[in-house]
Amino acid sequence: MTLFRLALRNLWRQRFRTVAITLATALAAGFIFSASTIIESVESTLQNGMAKLGADIMVVPDGYESKGRKVLLSGEPTAFYMDGSVLPGVTAIKGIEKVSPQLFMVSAVLQCCSMPTVLLVAYDTATDFTITPWVSHINKLPPEATLDPVTIGAETLYASEGPYMTFFGKKFRVGSSMNPTGMRYLDYSIFMTMQAARDMIEKSARDSLKPLTVRPDQISSIMVKVSRDSDIKAVAGEIEASFKGIKALLTNDMISSVKREIEASLWSVIAAGLACWAMTIMLIGLVFAMSVNERQRELGLIRAMGATRFHTLRLIVTEASIICGIGGFAGVSVGLAIIVTFKRLITHSLGNITFLWPSPVIISSIGVACIVIMTLSGALAALVPALKSCRKEPYDAIRQGSNGQ
């Protein structure tokens, strides 16, 4: 009989203890794996999304920094405006490579709009570098000269009008759609040209029950791409110093801020996992100390039949490793299943930050790391009582076990 099979039989004889330790280990592994996977997912989603967006700085009106972040990070339908006269001045600042204005509007919950509460984004086709690179799936329908096209995000539902949409009394045709990006700003919004938006604003004053109150000289934000040899923070500081009433938001700072907020919200989960882990280690040490004391006669007989001290040490450590390894695997599996099942709820609880799965390699690495850590923790927790059992001579262990019984 191999050492591994002997360890399995011993665990089967003590089923209640085995199940208790396995469940405790699974709970700890599940908490730690789930929280780590979600944090890694959000971080990679934000970094990849910002890289695809291509903008280093987002210029917004003073006092609307929070709304600007929500628009860019979670695609929240909101509108704010500033004077578009700052655009030429921003373009002239040294170190800036590209500049493009955008205009944000929110569709109304009225018959004048095909889709209620969706973010409408108008962009300048001549200068845009954040939207047009991701446009795909051009609509093959014959274009109608009287209808301007719109581009829909990859996750945006089509309107009930088929290939057409209406916003504030103006009818559009669905001209194209976006590639999936992982950013709700791009995936859940509807995009149109700046000229089409101005026409819609003018038409809403005549045909919509809720007209848009946007002046022709107003914009919502300015997307800025800084040249490689320039310092982004220095450029942002110069923008704010040159113009009153605007704020320059750094996209990298947005990522760091959101990551800190999410880590803070998930800290309770991580803390619960670490607490379960610490309790599991203490439980394993206590249970195996009791088990070794009860099994003195058994361990003595094994030694008397030719087993060495190292064999008995390996037997006890192997039992603890098997329990914690199975518990770690079960916890990772259950944690993964929970994330898959409640993905939408997790996305909502994170402030509508899109949840994109990390690569299989990263998920596997986190899972394997959790299982290995739990297995090693169990082995180390059982090491002290295992060493204690090895110090006794076979005869003394058999006699002590017989007297104990």
E strand or H helix at 65: helix 65-74
Q: Mark whether 120 and 209 lie in a shared domain.
A: yes
Q: Quick check: is 54 in a domain?
A: no
Instruction: Give the C-alpha separation, 242 to 197, whole Å.
Output: 29
Residue 405 pLDDT more than 50? Answer: no
Q: What confidence score (pLDDT) does residue 404 get? A: 47
Q: Mark whether 25 and 72 lie in a shared domain.
A: no
| pLDDT tens digit sequence for 342-383 | 877 776 666 556 666 777 888 899 999 999 999 998 888 887
Q: Mark whether 10 and 96 lie in a shared domain.
A: no
Q: Mark whether 234 and 292 lie in a shared domain.
A: no
Q: What confidence score (pLDDT) does residue 401 get? A: 47
Provide the CB-side half-sphere exposure for 263 (13 A, CA). Answer: 8
Range of the domain at 293: 3-48+258-404
Q: Mark whether 286 and 194 lie in a shared domain.
A: no
CA 361, chain centre distance (Å): 16
| pLDDT tens digit sequence for 118-129 | 899 999 999 998
Q: What confidence score (pLDDT) does residue 372 get? A: 93
| Share above pLDDT 70 across residues of the chain, in percent, rounded to a whole number | 76
CA 250, chain centre distance (Å): 20
Q: Mark whether 341 and 394 lie in a shared domain.
A: yes
CA distances from 311 to 142, 319, 322, 371, 387 (A): 80, 12, 16, 24, 11
Predicted TM-score (pTM) of the model is 0.66
Q: What confidence score (pLDDT) does residue 369 get? A: 93
Q: What confidence score (pLDDT) does residue 247 get? A: 94
Q: Quick check: is 251 in a domain?
A: no
Q: Mark whether 311 and 354 lie in a shared domain.
A: yes
Q: Mark whether 218 and 81 lie in a shared domain.
A: yes
Q: Quick check: is 270 in a domain?
A: yes
Which residues have C-beta within 8 Å of that of residue 26, sequence separation ≥ 6? 327, 328, 330, 331, 334
Tokens encoding 327 = 């518990």
Asked if 77 and 117 count as a contact pair (C-beta separation under 8 A), the reply is: yes
Lowest mean pLDDT among 107-111, 156-160, 162-166: 156-160
Instruction: Provide the pLDDT confidence category of residue 32 given band limits of 50, 70 and 90.
Output: confident
| pLDDT tens digit sequence for 265-313 | 667 777 777 887 888 788 787 777 776 666 665 655 565 555 566 667 7
Q: Mark whether 226 and 79 lie in a shared domain.
A: yes
Q: State the average pLDDT over residues 91-109.
A: 91
Tally of structural domains, the chain: 2
CA distances from 34 to 269, 324, 392 (A): 8, 18, 43
Which residues have C-beta within 8 Å of that of residue 183, sequence separation ≥ 6? 45, 49, 50, 52, 53, 72, 73, 75, 354
Q: Mark whether 159 and 192 lie in a shared domain.
A: yes
Instruction: Give the C-alpha separation, 9 to 44, whole Å.
Output: 45
Q: Quick check: is 382 in a domain?
A: yes
Q: Quick check: is 328 in a domain?
A: yes
Q: What confidence score (pLDDT) does residue 271 get? A: 79
Q: State the average pLDDT over residues 222-228.
A: 92
Residue 402 pLDDT more than 50? Answer: no
Query: Among residues 187, 217, 244, which one ends one of the domains?
Result: 244
